[in-house]
Homo-oligomer: A and B are copies of this chain.
């Protein structure tokens, strides 16, 4: 059966990108061959190279695809409804904890996985991973900035810095989940992150 002949034009690219998200998160970027991706996507190698000049070009497009997919997930999440920006920030953290479910490969991060391996050997892919992380960080900065203005105007840390730190905790939590083989240790670190953010925004005791 040659599935590729039955795939409408344009759909092959999307199937390859969806496959990349799953296969690379499960076995890493370097260990994933073009053959692995074609098999998972149900497309021919000809179709792959019609859409992508190389595995690295696919990786760059997959980082953008990841950005689009997760961007939609976060944009549609419930935590944006809160009136107080601090509740939105804490709601984001709780949402991150809530989606730590299922197989490790399902809740871990495509671009964190790729950049860990290729940061020094594939500069274009490194840049694509950084863009994806930075664009997610940018969605957090405005809520943190507003929360800082409202609850901690004299804080000695910036909204940008705290937004990046949330990603450090999440990326590191994924690594511990991979090492220990489960989400529990990751959820524990996200709870520490929540406690930290609560304390940063707690009113200073009256003197």
Chain A interface residues toward B at CB < 8 A: 26-31, 104-105, 111-113, 115-121, 126, 129-130, 133, 157, 161-162, 164-165, 167-173, 175-176, 178-181, 185-186, 188-189, 192, 195-196, 199-200, 205
Question: Which residue of B165, B178, B180, B192 is within 8 Å of A116 (Cβ)?
Answer: B178
Instruction: Report the separation of the CA atoms of residues A27 and B126 in the bound assembly, to the nearest whole angstrom.
Output: 12
Main secondary structure of the interface of A (DSSP, over half): helix
Instruction: Report the separation of the CA atoms of residues A143 and B6 in the bound assembly, to the nearest whole angstrom.
Output: 63
Nearest first, the 9 closest Cβ-Cβ pairs linking A and B are A172-B172, A28-B117, A168-B172, A30-B30, A119-B178, A171-B172, A30-B31, A168-B189, A205-B205
Chain B residue numbers with a CB within 8 Å of A28 are 28-30, 116-118, 121
Instruction: Check if A129 sits within 8 Å of B179, measured CB to CB.
Output: yes
Chain B residue numbers with a CB within 8 Å of A119 are 104, 178-179, 181
